[in-house]
Amino acid sequence: MYMPYKQIFDEQKKPLDYKIRKAIEAIQHGFSICQSRSALAFSGGKDSTVLWHIIRTHFPRQSAPMAVIFGNTGVEYPESLKFARELGAEWGGDSFIEATPERLKQDGLKYAAQCEVLEYLVETGSIGKILKADGKLKNTQALEKACPPDMWDKFRAEGLVWRAGTPKSYWWCVDQYGWPILGKAASKLQARRINIDCFLRFSNTASDDPKLMQYYDMLREVKISQACCDVLKKQPSQKIQRELKVDLLFLGMMSSESYRRFQTFADKGYLFEVVTESRKIKMPVYHCHPLGIWTDDDIWEYIRRYDVPYSPLYDITYLDEDGNEQKIARNGCVGCYTSFGRRNSQMYVLRQTHPERWRQIMRRGMANEIKKLRQTEQYKPNAKNYFRLAKLFATDDMNMLIEHRPCAFY
């Protein structure tokens, strides 16, 4: 159901009592079409907590069997992880379920080893065996199967093998797909790094569009990807939804959060059917967004009015780039950097609020990727910003700037 932009803006200006009524109506509509089982996508954040409170308060009978699926990505803020588990136990009991990434079913090569195998196949004239007719890699497994046993032994000795049983963690995603820097719109190729290498090197289907060619040039220097969102969050949750035969999923998304969510709400409204690929159970599945017209101010007003518990993450403070004290506004994954290039970005905040986590992420490779990204034509810092930062840190050494403040480039 399409909703005009102006109508959404007008709805967002309405008082909280009106928005609560609209949320209740959306929830009621959702429960009325639920044939199997409902579920709540719970993040441990303030929005999904408020939504859970509304559902429990106004629909005690329907909410009792509702599954509450918490996506534990492995890179949650510690404050939110603790809060989610405690509230899950108190409010959800046995209906509270943690969705965690699946484990590797067999040994797999790390990216550095995959690159070495690729060069071996080129040198031995065997590269054609793992490529499609258009020059793309058949799949990552084809390359790994072409790796000789002695090379596998060498890689195991060098620690370049992901062992079977290892969870598909944030670090696995970074190694295989690239760092979650920039948003989804900038991550056009959702493929493993070795697949992208083969595409850029051997494929004859690469577009000659100037913008895409610029994007390809960037990929030759640095791989960015949002695959971690699918691997760590979406896929584990969807697996549980299939197992429980969930046909109605409540989500605490607000159109005020981002343009993408605004567009989704404008196009589809409060309740809509979703199409999921490779779903074994053939039945309609609906997503319900009862908080579509809410804003952050509404959430906090509701929390204060009804004394709703919330994650202590939101009470942690930092100094913004103008020197003003602020509180963390959003929950999410610790290692996400989709706000790269913006003021008071995720990594800018993380460096102050969780310095050990920030140092771990930077030292394990994100700082180097940011350095390479900033050296590409597409994201090269302009002179004004460069000299502003150089003056700020009393240095004209780009390496020094990246080492000590990689999240401050615009």
Q: pLDDT tens across 79-93, in order?
A: 999 999 999 999 999
Per-residue pLDDT of 233-253, as tens digits, reads 999 999 999 999 999 999 999
Per-residue pLDDT of 35-87, as tens digits, reads 999 999 999 999 999 999 999 999 999 999 999 999 999 999 999 999 999 99
Q: Two tokens at 305?
A: 């009015």
Average confidence score pLDDT of the chain? 88
Residue 101 CA to its chain's centroid (Å): 13
pLDDT given for residue 81 in this prediction: 97
Which CA distances in Å does 340 have to 19, 260, 384, 386, 401?
A: 33, 17, 18, 16, 15
pLDDT over 50 (residue 397): no
Please count the other Cβ atoms lying within 10 Å of the Cβ belonging to residue 48: 22
What gap in Å lies between CA 2 and CA 394, rounded to an integer? 53
Confidence label for 409 from pLDDT (cuts 50, 70 and 90): very low
Ordered by start, the domain boundaries in the chain are: 5-101+229-313, 108-166+188-223, 339-404
DSSP 8-state code for residue 321: T
Report pTM: 0.86
Give the pLDDT mean for 113-120. Answer: 98
Q: Is the dihedral of CA 85, 88, 94, 95 positive or negative?
A: negative
Per-residue pLDDT of 170-214, as tens digits, reads 999 999 999 999 876 666 677 999 999 999 999 987 677 777 787
Q: Two tokens at 390?
A: 């150089």
Confidence label for 393 from pLDDT (cuts 50, 70 and 90): very low
Local structure of 71: helix, strand or coil: strand
Give the pLDDT mean for 402-407. Answer: 37
pLDDT over 90 (residue 220): no
CB 300 within 8 A of CB 264: no
Q: Two tokens at 301?
A: 């007003």
Fold observed for domain 5-101+229-313 = Rossmann fold (3.40.50)
What gap in Å lies between CA 358 and CA 133, rounded to an integer? 43
pLDDT given for residue 401 in this prediction: 35
End-to-end CA distance of the chain: 38
